[in-house]
Structure formats: C-alpha cells, structure tokens
Structure 1
Amino acid sequence: MTQPQNRRAFLAGFTAASVILAFSPSARAWLSEPEAAADAVPLPPLDGQLLFAPDDLGAAADDFGHILHHTPFAVLLPGSIADIRRIVRFAHAHRIPIGGMSMIGNTHSVYGQSQVEAGIVINMASLAAIHEIDEDCALVDAGVRWVDLLAATTPLGKSPPALTDHIDLSIGGTLSVGGIGGQAFRHGMLVDNVLELEVVTAQGRLVACSPTRHPALFHAALGGIGQFGIITRARVRLVDVPGMVRRYTALYSALVDMMADQEMLMDDGRFDYVEGFALPAEGGGWMYQIEAAKYYAPGQPPDDAALTGDLGFAPSTLTAEDLTHFDFANRIAPLVAFLKSIGAWELPHPWIDTFVPGSQAASFIQSVLDQTTADDMGGGPILIYPFKRAAVTAPFVALPDEPTVYLFSLLRTAPPPAVPDLLAKNRAIYETLRDLGGKRYVASGVPFTSADWQDHFGAAWPAFVHLKHRFDPRRVLTPGPAIFD
C-alpha cells in the first residue's frame, strides 16, 4: 500500500562493495576470485545487495547500547523476501550464522542481541511496505516502523491497541522480543496483538502462520528472540481510536502510594494508558510521577475530577495536556531529537528492564532505587508500572508467575568508562530479582550464560530447545543472545 522510500534509492545510499562472487566453507572466507579456492561456492543471485565494505560492517557491529561490537562477514539489504530465503538457505548449508532480528538504526537491543560475529546481518529496512489497512488489521513488512504505521492509520481513526513508548522501532524487531508500553494492563504486549506472520525458517522456508495455521511457529516467533525464524511480514491488530488524548501527570512523595493508585487504575480501567516514573528529588533521593492518558473524541473532553479526584498525588502537581492520538504516541520524538543533537544518543546505554512479581515490587524497586543515584542514570528515565500477567500469552515471553507484574526499567545513558560498573550492577540487580521469582526483559544489558537462559525460561525451556531443533537445527539464527553454548 505504501513504501516509505524507493527501494532502489535506499539501496543506492549504502557503500558500494568489492565484487564478491563466492564463499569458501573451509577457509570461512568470501572470494572475489572463485578459482582461489577448490571448494568455492557461488553466491546466490539477489534482487538486493550483499555488502562487504568496512563502513557497512562497522554499522552492523553496533546497536543502541554501543557496548558490544561483533563484526559480521556481510550485511544483506534484501530487495525482496526471496532474497532472505536465498541467503538463509545459503547460510544454513554452510553454517554461517545469521543476525535474524536486526534493523540497523531502529532497534533498542543494547547488548549485541542482533549482532553476529563472522556471519551475515540482515538489515530489514529495505523491506518496509504497508500492504493493507483493513477495518481491524494491517499487513506490513517487518521493516516498517511503528511510527510509519501510525502515520497511516490514525487519519483513519485506527491504531494498534498496544505500543511501545518509542515508536521509531521496526515492527519485526519489536515482535521478536515482545514490546511493552502503557496499554499493557489492558491489551497485553505488542506480541499479543498479532493475527498472522510470515516467517523464514533456518532452512529458507517461507511459512505463513497464525494461531490456527502452523501455530507452533507462530507462537514461537512472537517473543522468540529470533531463534526460530526471521519475521518478514505481520498482520497486526487495529482498533478504533477517537482521535484525541488527554495526558495527565502528577507527583507522589512515596513509591507505595503511586503504586497503589496505579493498581487501582489498572483494575478499574478508567484510563487507556498508565505508566509511572522515578524522578530525581531536590536534595537527593527520588520522587514519583504517575502518567495516565484518556482517549476522547474531539469536542468531548474527559471529566478531570472524575478521573483523578480520588488519587493520592499532591494536588498542586497535577498537569493535563491535550494531544492528537498520533502526537501522544510519538511524544518521545522531540526528546530523542534533542538527545541526538547533543550527542547523548550515541553514548552507551547499559539498560536493564525487569519484570517484578507484584507481591515483591514495592520492596524490590525501593531497594534498587535506594542504591541508585541520578548520576548512575545519566539523565535516562526510570519506568515503573503494573500490568496483568494474564494479558500476555506469548509462551516465550518469560514473566513472574503472579497475577500482577511490574515493569521496572533503568534506562541509563553512560560515558564509556562507567559501563563495566553499571553492567555489574545490572547483573547484581538481576540476581536479586531472580531469587524473588522475577525475570528480565530480553533486550536488557545483562550478561547472561546458557545456564541463565535455562533458568530464565524455566518450565518452558524443554519446549524452547525442541522448537529450536525443529526450526533451526544447525543453530545459525540470531546467536547474539548466546542462548546456546
């Protein structure tokens, strides 16, 4: 239906590479002269480009975290889904690892999850068409960004029911890890609002799947960390939205008071969106800000007193602003533009996102905040908000086994010398949380071993291993998370 930019112009913007014609499996090397190796295998014909230039490889050896750097052999800019199938079949045959959930420049992976040492990274940005927008769904390429989809659907009075706070992310990459935002208490994660997928498995098969058609692959790919296939298209759910949003914020001096109000709002459903933050307090320590949003039709604003009158915040701190639905969804964009303008976007981001059991949330979050300073955060936000465990159905999105779960995220920005210490703190936070029955969000910067992953998936681990063997028996897809030794 729409193509954000001409594919030929997009491909032309990348560095031209030397002419590579073949691959030598024994030497693990690309060849410009196939006769240089007895076992040279010619590259498959492509509609797009396979890039080998140092600048392109350097870009693929980085992510939003700017912490780990694994350099691939090549970067694929697919000109078609057929290109992905061809290169994946080639990689599978010759045991070349594939970075299977990467869209360079539009990912929040912070610890090398989509990188691949001496393999091939697929940059899905060249496949970014919106093919259909219907009454209740949209069919999109995996490289489409949520902001592009919103720009197309909000004029029609429609939106995906759940969104991440930062919508300048690719749909395929987000669906590979889960995707969470302030609508999760009502609609679950982004992976819970997908109707169909097209997935390329490690053998190069293109499989159309849904809850009733090839359901094992469908459920495994959503939140499956790129382990079972490469999402190339998705049919995502749309709901009617009235066009305007009133966004409320207010401050609390005590964490437990904000959390009590958040849980009340989650249960009674008066708002369409609920989040919260820890903010540096004057003189040290933290204060707490609730953020809630109510959707409404133009000319029919909500009743502020009815929505907020029974909440326990300091009344003088209440603010309300009216935004279009698109501007509310894209409210982070001005901050991102500012951070890019001062160079902060390019600094390391040793983030940790956690899922905390509701029964332990107040004490655990407070204990972490008591050991965290504003300097530790480097100006990055701290997110705190609850959602209902039952709203999340993807089997490999690991969550605590309690009815209420809190997202608790320390989204740090740090100078490079501070990164090792902050990663060590992340690991210590994780270990304490693990012992309480909590989990980490897989995009986090937390050093993990294969044993950690087994603990992370818990009872789902045998199924995870079984499906990995079924759909990626040579384990070539997405080695970045280091799930398997």
Structure 2
Amino acid sequence: MRKLQISRRAVLAGATATAAAAVVAFDPANLGWLTEAEAETQPAAIRVPGLDGELVVDEESRTEAADDYGHIVHRMPVAVLRPGSVRDIATVIRFANKHGLKVSTRGQGHSTFGQAQAGDGIVIDSRTLATIHRVGTGHAVVDAGVQWLDLIKATLAQGQTPPVATDYLGLSIGGTLSLGGIGGATSHHGLLVDNVLALEVVTGTGEIVRCTPSIRPDLFHAVLGGLGQFAVIARATVRLIPAPTTARVYHLSYPDLPSMTAAQRTALADRRFSYLEGQLTPTENGWTYLLEGVQYYTPPSEPDDEALIADLAPASTEITDMPYFAWLNRIYDLVQQLMALRLPGPWINVFIPDEATDAYVTEILAETTPADAGGVVLLYPVPNERIRQPFVRLPDSPVVFLLAFLRAVNPPDEAETQRLIAVNRSQYDRVVAVGGTHYPVGAIELTEEDWKKHYGPAWSAFRAAKHTYDPNNVLTPGHAIFR
C-alpha cells in the first residue's frame, strides 16, 4: 500500500479550517485531515478508526507538542491524539504503521531536546489517561499520564509511598519509566524502573500486551528504561512501601571535591541515609561542595545525629526536620515558576565510574564558569547492583556517580544555548573515554554510532527488541537511535 507522505505545509493549511475539532479521516488527494462533516463529502477519504478520545490538528495543540522543557528543539506533528482509552493508542499506532507515520508519546513535556516529539507524525498526549485505578497494600495501579505528585498524595493517604521519587514530582509515570527515574533513594531501592511490578503497553505494531517479570518478561524488561523504542506504556503497577512521616535533612559542607565524594562513599557503603545526593555550587572563587543526606523516620523513633555524621568530617553541618511529603515536594513550585519563564535548558546528565569520578569532575569544574553551570549541579553516588533493567546503561563499576548540569539560559540566547550544547558534546566524549555513559534526558546530539557505543554489549539485544516489537520503526523518533 502507498505510504502517505504528509507535508507540514498542507496540514497547516487545513488546520485553520478544522480548528480544534477532532478529525476522523485523511484526504490523500490534498494531504490534509478531515472533520466528520468534511469526510462525508470526500469519497476517497481514509477513515481513522473510531476513537474514544480525539485526534486534533489545531495549531495550539500541535505547537505545544512541538516543544518541551528544554525549548531547544521544535518538531511540529501533523496531529495530536488525546486518547480516551488504551484502545485509542493501539488504533493510532496501527494507523501510523499502515500510512508511514511516526508516533511519540508526551506526558508532562519535561524532555529537554525533543525526545518526545514526532515531526510530521502523531504525538500521543498521555495527560488524558491519568487515572489512579487502585492503591492496594504494597502496590498501586496507575495510568501512564498520572503525575508522581498525585500518586504520592494518594498513597500517603493510606500510609504508603513509592520507594524512590525523582526530585521533581511533576513528571508523568509513563515518561519516567521509559527513561529510568533516579533520585536520592536509588542508593537503597534502585531506579523507579526497578520498582515496577507489571505493565500494560502498546507495542509498535499496535498490540496491547500485559507484561510482568514472569509474563512476557522480555518485553517487560525492554520497555522499562527502553526510551519508548518498543512500546508505549499505558498503565503500570508500581511497588509501594510503608511511608514515614518525617524527613531529617543533613546538609554537610566540605572544602573540596575529594572530601565530599569521600564522605559520600562512606555514607553509601553502609546505606546510613534513606536519601543521599550532593550539590556543587559555583562561586566567584571556585565551588562549594554539599553532601545532602536525609533520614526518614516516624516519631517517637528518631535518628541518632551524632552516629550518622561522626565519621563524615564535614566542615559545617545544618540539620532540619520537615514533613516527609514536604521534603519530597520541595522543588515543585520552583520548577513550575521556571517553566513559566520558558528558558532554554541544555542539560547534561552522565554516569561516571567511581574510580574516574574525582579526576573527571575536577577537570570539568576547572573549566566551568558560573554561566556554564547555569543552574543546579548534582553529584552523587549510586550502587550499580541496585539498577537492574538491561537497557539502562551504566559504567562497569560497583559504584557510579551521577553528574548533572541542569542548566537554564537566562536570558534566552540562541548562540549561548548552542555553545552549551557543544560543551555538552565535549563533556560527553570525555566521559565515554573514561568508561562513562549518559542518562538520556539531556541536550546531546548523538549519532547512530554513539548509540551503539552507549548500549555496548546490549546493542544487539536492543536492536533485536526493536525488530520484534516495532519492526517499522514507528515509535519515538526523537532519540534518533534508528535512522
């Protein structure tokens, strides 16, 4: 069958007529979408199978889907699906296969480099599938469009919590599980993808599949951290544990990088903190180094402050108690304010082998100005053994450090943004040279050869899973893994 070659110009021309109305068919003669009224007058129209939700082509919806938190890459789709059911996702993916379209899924749009975009394709807006179906003992069943913030509110009402939370809770569950999901509690519980009990997904051929570690395990493990290459996550059953009520926060300052990372390694070795991260802050004269440890508890039990920090030798210590939920949600309002500013965000997140961390980070910091930092800089260790999904690629080291530059270019400046993307590429090449990998949420232009190197010995399995579950290369083109 002839594949539809849909031009953006043709769709833009027809978008004014259809406005925000849902489309039901495609006009192969004029290469445009049709509403119900228009389709009735076009005998050659190709009908989109019935949907519980809607497929829209108005400029506002498509423009939103062509942007993300990074505001760097803009690829305009020809339509946006607002699914009313999992069936809608399957229907549109089958339609895309038949007519040569790409499909991507967008949750909260928190990517930074177009990873969830689909130029001249269809973007699935998962926000219309956002139901918390059940919170049971030890688990919750949720749609992919649910935000972690809403899930945590619901689980805390029953005295439970996900074992790991990302620092910002406004992310969608489906989007996070497609990438990995890292946070301060990863030192105990792995990534968010390591705490999933079951999935309902739609493969790249439009098949709806329920999978678990024992039912279709190959698909289950491929999808978690699989960058949306094999299936769209529609629903997840995530693990819950008993929730504490209080977080005791320890901010420990150090005079230099080796002192901080040594203290982090000591704290990681015996898992003394419930949460372990670290921050680097540029100053006029260099950098400040902060170990951030948190101990969760429920009174009347209480942490032993002296025992927790006695051998960590900080230069200064600040200890604060706050409610558990307030701690988890501490940066939500700040991120919402930053989002409203629409600042370009050329982020980079890399994993570094333990033995290379101090030298690599010291070298990077020596050439990084406050403007280059451009926002929050995170550095903290995680144990490799706790991260178990095969397509989340880590260095071959028992302990790895995450280094993240979460930049914002303020005021917005295209030349500065492009300069920082070039800096990212240099830092990426150097981390690969010391055995590192990257956490693929940042602004790095990767070639197919880069991706092969990233997956290393897992590349053949990754490619085989793509051939099995998305043989027409329909899904998630934004990562540009398969050209």
TM-score by length of 2: 0.92
Q: 1:403-433 deviations in whole A, cap 9, x for unaligned?
A: 1100000110012331100000000000011
Kindly indicate whether the alpha-carbon contact (under 8 Å) linking 2:22 and 2:56 is maintained by their aligned counterparts in 1: no
Q: Distance in 1 between matches of 2:186 and 2:473?
A: 32
Secondary structure of the residue that 1:151 maps to in structure 2? Answer: helix
Please state if 1:416 is matched with 2:413: yes
Match of 2:95 among 84, 90, 105: 90
Among 17, 21, 25, the alignment partner of 2:24 is: 21
1:8 maps to what in 2? none
Query: 1:305 is paired with a residue of what secondary structure?
Result: helix
Partner of 1:165: 167
* Counterpart in the other structure of 1:52: 57
Structure 2 portions without partners, runs of 5+:
1-17
Match of 2:447 among 442, 449, 469: 449
2:382 to 383, 387, 400: 387
Match of 1:307 in 2: 308
Alpha-carbon shift at residue 108 of structure 1 (Å): 2.6
2:335 paired residue number: 336
Q: 1:370 to 1:270 in 2, by over 3 A?
A: same
**CA deviation vs aligned residue, 1:161-218 (integer Å, no higher than 9, x gap):** 1111111100000000001011111111100000100000122111000110001110
Structure 2 partner of 1:474: 472
* Superposed displacement of residue 377, structure 1: 2.6
Structure 2 residue 398 is matched with structure 1 residue 403: yes
- Residue 65 in 1 paired to residue 61 in 2? no
Partners of 2:42 and 2:117 in 1: how far apart? 28
User: Are the aligned partners of 2:282 and 2:373 in contact in 1 as well (CA < 8 Å)?
Assistant: no
| 1:279-307 residue CA offsets vs partner (Å, 9 max, x unmatched) | 123x3210101100001112332121111
1:40 is the counterpart of 2:45? yes
Give the drift of 1:28. Answer: 5.1
Q: Retained in 2: the 8 A contact 1:154–1:325?
A: no
Q: Which residue of 2 aligns with 1:291?
A: 292
| Matched-pair contact (CA < 8 Å) for 1:258–1:312 | no
Q: Return the alpha-carbon distance in structure 2 between the equivalents of residues 368 and 294 of structure 1.
A: 31
Aligned mate of 1:30, from 18, 29, 33: 33
- The range that moved more, 301-310 or 432-441, is 301-310
Give the percent of matched residue pairs that are identical in Structure 1 and Structure 2. 45
Output the amino acid matched with 1:183. A
Give 3-state SS (helix, strand or coil) of 2:477's partner: coil
Q: CA deviation at 1:155?
A: 2.6
- Relative to 1, partners in 2 of residues 1:127 and 1:35: Cα closer, same or farther, differing over 3 Å? closer
TM-score, normalised to structure 1's length?
0.92
Give the secondary structure class of the aligned counterpart of 2:181.
coil
State the one-letter code of the partner of 2:351: F
Aligned residues: 461
CA–CA separation in structure 1 for the residues paired with 2:359 and 2:212: 40
Structure 1 unmatched ranges of 5 or more: 1-14
Q: 1:183 to 1:107 in 2, by over 3 A?
A: farther
Contact 2:23–2:54 under 8 Å retained in 1: no
Within 1, Cα distance between the matches of 2:28 and 2:450? Answer: 32
- The CA RMSD over aligned residues, in Å, is 1.7
What is the letter of the counterpart of residue 459 of structure 1? P
* Contact 1:279–1:382 (8 Å) recurs in 2: yes
Aligned-partner SS, 1:89:
helix
Q: Which amino acid aligns with 1:419?
A: T
CA displacement at 1:63 relative to structure 2: 0.6
CA positional deviation for 1:454? 0.8
The 3-state SS of whatever aligns with 1:411 is strand
Q: In structure 2, give the amino acid aligned to 1:192.
A: D
Match of 2:111 in 1: 109
Equivalent in the alignment of 1:327: 326
SS for the counterpart of 2:371 is: helix
1:481 positional shift: 0.5
CA distance in 1 between partners of 2:101 and 2:31 (Å):
9
Aligned residue in 2 for 1:11: none
Of 325, 347, 364, 1:351 maps to 347
Moved more, 289-298 or 25-34: 25-34
- DSSP-derived class of the 1:156 partner: coil
The 1-side partners of 2:128 and 2:22 are apart by 21
Which position in structure 1 is the counterpart of 2:246?
Answer: 244
Tell me: CA distance 1:236–1:408, structure 2 relative to 1, closer, same or farther (3 Å): same
State the alpha-carbon separation in 1 of the partners of residues 286 and 110 from structure 2. 28
Counterpart of 2:481?
483
What's the CA shift for 1:39?
5.3
Q: Which amino acid in 2 is paired with 1:108?
A: H
2:232 to 218, 227, 230: 230
2:145 to 143, 146, 160: 143
1:364 and 2:367 matched: no
Cα distance in 2, alignment partners of residues 377 and 320 from structure 1: 27
Secondary structure, aligned partner of 1:381: strand
Q: Which amino acid aligns with 2:469?
A: F
